[in-house]
Amino acid sequence: MNKKIILALESSCDETACAILIDDELVANVISSQIEVHQKYGGVMPEIASRLHLENVLVVIDEALKKANISMDDVTAIAVTRGPGLIGALHVGLQAAKTLALIYNKPLIPVHHLAGHIYANEFVKKLEFPLLAVVVSGGNTELVYMKEHLSFDVIGQTKDDAIGESFDKVARVLGLPYPGGVAIDKLAKEGKHTYKLPEPLKDGTLDLSYSGLKTAVINLVHKLEQNNEEINVPNMAKSFQDVAIKELLDKVALATELHQDVKQIVLAGGVSANSYLREQIVKQYENTDISVIIPPIWCTTDNAAMIAKVGSYLYDQNIFADLSLSVDPNWKIEDYKNFK
Amino acid sequence: MISLILDSTNRDLNVGLGIDDKLVDFVSYECWQRQSESMIPEIEKLFLKHQINPKDVNEIIVTKGPGSYTGMRIALTIAKIYSYSLNIPCYAISALAALSCEDKTSICLMNARSARSYFGVYKNGNIIISDTIKTNDEVLEFASKHPEYVLCGDLEYLDKEGYKANVLYNLLRFKSEANKVDDIFKLKAVYLKD
């Protein structure tokens, strides 16, 4: 039987990436990160990200093909991130994928970026259903219930800011470097929860909110500065992180209460690298029937391996796009089969 | 010899097919912000119509800017992947040069927004004044001082009638060793703005 070879491209934010999966074995996973460039600006600059994708797209494809020791003719199908993400950034990966599909006459598979983050966990362990995916990143905060493979039901989401966005903004007001989540995680380990911040509302729904907490920290910092009081940055980081993670964990607890059939919880997205979240969610489900999968750190940042993984499942279901495919920066995960 | 010619720097989508240095077919229509969907299907349609296998292409000719940032990256991404995949030459040519009028000294212009223009002066593909950005007032003053030059491009934004060139015909005839890309990995767009 012929091997199934998926070549995947990802360019939704600040990493240009290409990966190759041969019969579910990851043989190449190349990432060209732009983080150092964006660090200077304290956040991702969309136009600069798009420019760098154009400069790096061939580099990652070429390196991936060489690592896998295959040629494009050997590839079975091409998977690409169609959204969500930065529109100009998505365009580069999509055009590259479409051009390869045209030249080599290969099926084109549009992949939802967050589905990718969820499926990154399959590089650790097979997914078991029904599962609850906790999708936490700079752009998204969602609780996704999955009854089976490729079935995504968003049962809770943020009403305002994404959790990662609040980490980045709090980090900025505390004068910490980008990416803020990493800096807060590190400093919080040295700090104590001494600052009083508003506790999350218990409204009985699975929706979350981070803008109030973020504003409370910013106002508190400004007030302390006005009164010439010294801010203990590690303590502020710890106080903020405790509340932010508790809000998430409370909603996860409520979700597993409301959906008692959940067998597995998976973390997905950039904030899933947060060490306190990892530790606490494992603790919350110790001695229960629910297993928790923690993705390896390399899967918490953007990569194309996870896009290839979803692409492989979509290939089995014959979910292909024609060459008029375009990007959708606001693509909803429930609509992953709808790309017209 | 088959040439694939691409331009998506401005409002139009331009795809051309050259055979032995003659433009044998092309599509050109207004396609603002839909070039991402349409460019590859238009290429495919031209290939089907002329019974060309996508792998038969021998060279790529593309506009490298200036122009719409997102727009020009569409054609440039396709050009990079094409040239790399088939190991064929790529020629990257100024999008302003492509607007010029044959045998005439041409002031080539494109709307750069904020009351500014992308500006370059060309004659038969040769640079008279290199591509730059000028305020629209500076452009109009330059034009009034050089009435013998032809104003080229879609100049509705300046309330003027500009000469409308066949961009694809121009690109094919301006292809030269001088604008051949040495290293396709390093091909970048020309933005003229940081």
For A133-152, the pLDDT digits (tens) are 999 998 899 999 999 999 99
User: How much is the pLDDT for A44?
Assistant: 85
Whether the CB-CB separation of A322 and A101 falls below 8 Å is answered with no
Question: How far from chain centre, in Å, is Cα A250?
Answer: 21
Q: What is the pLDDT of residues A279-330, one digit of tens each?
A: 999 999 999 999 999 998 998 999 999 999 999 999 999 999 999 999 999 9
Size of interface A-B (CB pairs under 8 A): 89
Distance CA B96, CA B66 (A): 7
A142/A135 Cα distance (integer angstroms)? 5
Q: Nearest-CA distance from A138 to chain B in Å?
A: 23
Query: pLDDT value at position A33?
Result: 87
A155 to each of A4, A163, A292, how far by Cα in Å? 34, 17, 18
Yes or no, beta carbons of B37 and A102 under 8 Å apart: no
Q: Does A306 touch chain B (CB under 8 A)?
A: no
Q: Give the whole-angstrom CA distance, residue A235 versus residue B121.
A: 62
> CB under 8 Å to B150, separation ≥6 — which residues?
B100, B101, B104, B105, B106, B107, B163
What is the gyration radius of the CA atoms in chain B, in angstroms? 16
Q: Which of B44, B60, B63, B64 is nearest to B52 (CA)?
A: B44
Show residues of chain B in contact with A324, CB under 8 Å: 37-38, 40-41
Write the CB contacts of A126 (distance below 8 Å, at least 6 apart in sequence): none
Q: For A6-37, write each residue's pLDDT tens digit.
A: 999 999 998 999 999 999 899 999 999 888 88
The DSSP code for B153 is S
**Best mutation target, B53, B64, B80, to test chain A (most A CBs within 10 A):** B80
Rounded Cα distance, A148 and A144, in Å: 12
- Average pLDDT rounded to a whole number, residues A79-92: 97
> How close B101 comes to chain A (CA, Å)?
31
pLDDT at B17 over 70: yes
How close B175 comes to chain A (CA, Å)?
22
Q: What 3-state class would DSSP assign to A314?
A: helix
Q: How far is CA B78 from CA A21, A82, A148, B74, B83, in A?
A: 24, 17, 37, 6, 9
* CB–CB contact B185 A59 (8 Å): yes
pLDDT tens figures, B66-83: 999 999 999 999 999 999
> In the block, which residue shows the tokens 């240009």?
A16
Nearest CB to B184 within list A58, A103, A326 = A58
Rounded to the nearest angstrom, the minimum Cα separation between A335 and chain B is: 19
Over residues A170-185, the pLDDT tens digits come to 999 999 988 899 999 9
Q: Would you give the DSSP letter of residue A208?
A: B
Q: For residues B126-141, b (16+ Cβ closer than 10 Å) or e, as one string?
A: eeeeebeebebeebbe
* For range A156-160, the mean pLDDT: 95
CA angle A282, A284, A289 (to 5 degrees): 85
Residue that is written with structure tokens 């060489």 in the block: A66
B37–A57: do the CB atoms touch at under 8 Å? no
pLDDT more than 70, % of chain B:
100
Instruction: Tell me the domains of chain A and their CATH numbers.
Output: 5-118+301-335 (3.30.420.40), 126-294 (3.30.420.40)
Residues 77-116 of A with CB under 8 A from B: 87-88, 91-92, 94-96, 98-100, 102-105
Is A40 an interface residue toward B (CB < 8 Å)?
Answer: no
Domains of chain B by start residue, with CATH: 2-94+167-186 (3.30.420.40), 100-158 (3.30.420.200)
pLDDT digits (tens, 9 = 90+) for A204-248: 999 999 999 999 999 999 999 999 999 999 999 999 999 999 999
Q: Give the pLDDT score at A1.
A: 62
Q: Does A272 touch chain B (CB under 8 A)?
A: no
The partner residue sitting opposite B185, judged by closest CB among A47, A58, A103, is A58
Give the span between the Cα atoms of A135 and A67, in whole angstroms: 31
Q: What are phi and psi of A75, to 5 degrees?
A: -70, 140
Give the CA distances from residue A236 to residues A181, A197, A212, A245, in Å, rounded to whole numbers and listed in that order. Answer: 13, 10, 16, 14
The yes-or-no verdict on residue B52 having pLDDT over 90 is: yes
Q: Are A127 and A264 in contact (CB under 8 A)?
A: yes
pLDDT digits (tens, 9 = 90+) for B120-133: 999 999 999 999 99
Tell me the per-residue pLDDT of A102-125, one tens digit each, with 9 for 90 and over.
999 999 999 999 999 999 999 999
Cβ-defined contact of A95 to B189 (cutoff 8 Å): no
Mean pLDDT confidence for A238-260:
97
Residue A186 and residue A293: Cα distance in Å, rounded? 22
Distance between CA atoms of residues B118 and A81, nearest Å: 33
Which chain B residues touch A98 with a CB distance below 8 Å? Answer: 40, 78
Cβ pair A19, A79 in contact under 8 A? no
Residue in B37, B86, B184 nearest the CB of A326: B37
pLDDT in tens, B136-191: 999 999 999 999 999 999 999 999 999 999 999 999 999 999 999 999 999 999 99
Residues whose CB falls within 8 Å of the CB of residue B52, separated by 6 or more in sequence, listed in order: B2, B17, B46
For residue A339, give the chain B residue with the closest CA: B37
Name chain B contacts of A102, Cβ cutoff 8 Å. 40, 43-44, 54
Which of A16, A51, A54, A104 is most worth mutating to test chain B (most B CB atoms within 10 A of its CB)? A54
